[in-house]
Amino acid sequence: MPSPRSPHSAFRTAVTPIDAVTTDLLFVPVFGPDDLLDDLPGVDAAVGGEWRRACAAGTFGRKPYATTIGRVVSGYRATHVCFIGVGEREDADDVRWRRVAAACGYIARQRRVATCAWVVRRGVDVAAVAGAAADGLSAAEFDGGRYRTREDARPVYPTDIDIVAAPGTEATVLAGAVARGRVIGRAVNAARDLANEPANVLTPAVFASRVEALVADTDLAVDVLDEAQLQRLGMGLHLAVARGSAEPPRLVVLRHEPDGVPEGPVVALVGKGVTFDTGGVSIKPSENMDRMKADMGGGAAVAAAMWAIATLGVRQRVIGLIPMAENMVGGRAYRPGDVLTGANGRTVEVLNTDAEGRLVLADALWYAGQQGATHLVDIATLTGHCIIGLGQTVSGLLGTPDDWREQVRAAADRAGERVWPLPIYEEAFDQLRSEIADMTNVGGRAGGAITAAAFLREFTGGLPWAHLDIAGTAWAESKQPYQPKGATGAGVRTLIEVAGSSVPWGRSPRAPKTPRVDLAPRPSDVRRLGLKPRGTEDAQGSEDAFVRGRSSVADHFRSPEASASGIRAATTD
């Protein structure tokens, strides 16, 4: 599959007069009809006054993405010049620059040009704009139609993309910004590639193999824990979710431990990796269920971010964990009323099997603490409630303590990803009370995004922890000038920024670390956990391996997802 190690286009940088740039298509970002293009003398004349004609016709207003393309008739070495609107100068933040550059990338693909170039205008922050442009142009290389067989349906990419700035620009600053932006854009595409894969292709085992292949050329250490090893660790929540599927679960652990980094904080990035979610016994409606192939978007974001963290040489210790499972309906599936035991010993009464994402994350969060993490960030397509509250362009952010959550929010701002904090008050835990276990896995319809996070907090061991709910942002419902319909790679940029932040995380109490153990399951472990290997149930069926009790479900408890048409199936826990 296309990966960060096999990009379509070669990126180059140059500090040169713009009229000397030889390319098929020269992209010139403009700030609305009042832009005099004073820093680009002769550019409008070179295309026979195309810019002024377009402005007179009202093509360019105050909003971005308007374009006009003129053929060069004199003065410039480019064949064509494309003027593309950025919008008002004061609105041109990193997000806007990245999106405008991505729109240019799609224009270059549509016109099937062999080469194109992006102009960094004078008067802007060169590093910020060049980096955002490289990120956006790289992201535009994404192709979600790999299963199309018609030759004419396959995209054509430029072989060379130049990012150019006028004389006087520091060449090393330009080159460094482009190199970093290039890595980030490619990482986003890696996450999109994974999240767009059909579930019949991307099973948990295949997902794990794809992650191994993705990071093969880095210095990341990789461990893939199989079902037997998860049993040995007592991960009853993760294992229960996987029981209804013929595809066994996995837990992938990626470690970034750069040489020469002194002892200090270790951040763990934990991503939900449910490769398909039917809802289990609490089955979803059929509408939009096909999108549940992307329910591993959080895990894809962690895998891609870890590749970028290693490639960029981040000087922090980082652990990535991706718990993988498929939530299916079957004779072995876990049920409402079951009681499960997590790896930390806490018991959970299941009221809804469609609230499975928090279960697989819970065991992984606990394991992150056992592996030495001092700070935690989890990311998941978790709740439809988050979509109803924040829409589909903003991710939810929850966590404790406030200063750690604020550091993650600031990292998202720097990365150009929108997040909005939600509170976790103690009353949220009251909604998770169970009559027969330590807690329930859902807390009713009120504040569903908050109670889901409150559940996760119980498995963090008191470590600083932040939770990103990307249910609304992980999937684009429709095509935009800067991105196609489908997986978006939400969260990748934020995770990279969290790991590479120059802001000291500070020391926090470490979770008690258990010694490394042989993970091969012993007969005593199997008996202790009440487990049976796959395929050993008797003809009458077996007692659920993770059940500690049963309880009826009150009628008023409903899906943890929103019940609005289309929303419930489109976003899952």
Angle 171-176-178 from CA coordinates, rounded to 5°: 95
Active site residue 358: yes
Per-residue pLDDT of the chain (573 residues; tens, 9 = 90+): 345 545 679 999 999 999 999 999 999 999 989 999 999 999 999 999 999 999 999 999 888 999 999 999 999 999 999 999 999 988 899 999 999 999 999 999 999 999 999 999 999 999 999 999 999 999 999 988 888 888 776 788 999 999 999 999 999 999 999 999 999 999 999 999 999 999 999 999 999 999 999 999 999 999 999 999 999 999 999 999 999 999 999 999 999 999 999 889 999 999 999 999 999 999 999 998 999 999 999 999 999 999 999 999 999 999 999 999 999 999 999 999 999 999 999 999 999 999 999 999 999 999 999 999 999 999 999 999 999 999 999 999 999 999 999 999 999 999 999 999 999 999 999 999 999 999 999 998 899 999 999 999 999 999 999 999 999 999 999 999 999 999 999 999 999 999 987 555 554 444 333 333 333 333 333 333 334 444 433 333 322 322 233 232 222 223 343 333 333 433 447
Q: Give the model's pLDDT for residue 573.
A: 78
Q: Give the model's pLDDT for residue 549.
A: 31
Q: Give the model's pLDDT for residue 4.
A: 59
Q: Residue 155 and residue 311: Cα distance in Å, rounded?
A: 27
Q: What is the pTM of this model?
A: 0.88
Q: Give the model's pLDDT for residue 61.
A: 85
- Quote the distance between the C-alpha of residue 471 and its chain's center: 10
What DSSP element (H or E) covers 108?
helix 94-111
The DSSP code sequence of 422-485 is ----THHHHTT--SSSSEES---STTHHHHHHHHHHTTSTT--EEEEE-TTTSEESS-BTTB-S
CB atoms within 10 A of CB 392: 18
Contacts of 65 (CB under 8 A, 6+ apart): 84, 85, 99, 100, 103, 481, 482
Q: Give the model's pLDDT for residue 62.
A: 83
- Quote the distance between the C-alpha of residue 250 and its chain's center: 19
Question: Hey, which residues does 10 pair with through a beta bridge?
Answer: 160
Q: Give the model's pLDDT for residue 107.
A: 97
Active site residue 284: yes
Phi/psi at 229 (5° precision): -70, -35
Task: Go through the domains of the chain in sequence order and give each one's CATH number.
Answer: 10-189 (3.40.220.10), 197-505+548-570 (3.40.630.10)
Q: Give the model's pLDDT for residue 519.
A: 37
Residue appearing with tokens 């809804």: 352
Residue 82 tokens, joined: 């494309």
Q: What is the 3-state secondary structure (H, E, C) of 123-163?
A: CCCHHHHHHHHHHHHHHCCCCCCCCCCCHHHCCCCCCEEEE
- Quote the distance between the C-alpha of residue 401 and its chain's center: 23
Instruction: Given the residues 98, 109, 243, 284, select the one marked as catalytic.
Output: 284
Q: Give the model's pLDDT for residue 6.
A: 54
Instruction: Given the residues 232, 346, 358, 409, select the one marked as catalytic.
Output: 358
Q: Residue 306 and residue 267: Cα distance in Å, rounded?
A: 12
Q: Give the model's pLDDT for residue 505.
A: 57
Q: Give the model's pLDDT for residue 506.
A: 53
Q: Give the model's pLDDT for residue 543.
A: 27
Coil, strand or helix at 200: coil
**Contact in structure between 132 and 101 (CB atoms under 8 Å):** yes
Which string of b and e fits 20-33 if b means at least 16 CB within 10 Å?
Answer: ebebbbbbbbbbbb
Q: Residue 327 and residue 237: Cα distance in Å, rounded?
A: 12
Q: Residue 384 and residue 370: Cα distance in Å, rounded?
A: 31
